[in-house]
Amino acid sequence: MSIEHVLFGVFALLTVASAVMVIVAKSPISSAMSLVATFFFLAGIYVLLWAHTVAVLQVLVYTGAIMVLFLFVIMLLNLGESTVTGPRVTLARVAGGVAAAGLLAVLVTAIWRIPSASTFTGSQAMSQGFGTLAVIGQTIFTQWLLPFEAVSLLLLVGMVGAVVVAKSRI
């Protein structure tokens, strides 16, 4: 039982708990704040996986940019608590629960058949510089240059498209 196990347990528990809060929260603001917490705890999990760069990106892009966008839209639309009054347990909810539980059962069964092969140890990773910005940058700019440029184009199109769709008159 190493410190890594303890950290993984704590982060995994907090991640799942805040993800559940995203779904059950009544007001969209609570959902958004729970989602921020989920992303933070998930960044901790990424650090445990030696993905420091992706963890930093997660905090910068998700909790920094995307969640600000979500909160901005929620406050712009001035949404309160959901006023829909219907039966709490509907057929659609039961069907959704059954579908999600079925998928989870299938996935866990498949994952459990993977032979235990977690041989990638910490000292090995340190020597290879695994997960550092230098290694990831080298991989992107040698093997994935065209997708990288395509993503920049995609973000530009997304930006222009958001303005065009959300603006009332052009």
Q: Taking CB under 8 A as the criterion, which residues in 99-138 touch another protein?
A: 99-101, 103-104, 107-108, 111-112, 114, 116-118, 120-125, 128, 130-131, 135-136, 138
Q: Rounded to the nearest whole angstrom, what is the least distance from the CB of residue 29 to another protein in the complex?
A: 10
Instruction: Enumerate residues 135-154 that contact another protein by CB under 8 A.
Output: 135-136, 138-140, 143-144, 147, 151, 154
Token look-up 């998700």 returns 62
Q: How far is CA 15 from CA 21, 36, 89, 148, 166, in A?
A: 10, 10, 26, 30, 33
Q: Which of residues 47-76 bind another protein (CB under 8 A)?
A: 48-51, 53-54, 57-58, 61-62, 65-66, 69-70, 73-74, 76
Q: How far is CA 24 from CA 35, 55, 131, in A?
A: 12, 26, 35
Burial of 118-153, coded b for 16+ CB within 10 Å and e otherwise, reads: eeeeeeeeeeeeebeeeebeeeeeeeeeeeeeeeee
| Run of H or E including 113 | none
Nearest distance in Å: CB 146, another protein? 12
Interaction with another protein in 11-50: which residues (CB under 8 A)? 12, 15-16, 19-20, 22-23, 28, 31-32, 35, 38-39, 42, 45-46, 48-50
* Shortest separation between residue 16's beta carbon and another protein, angstroms: 6
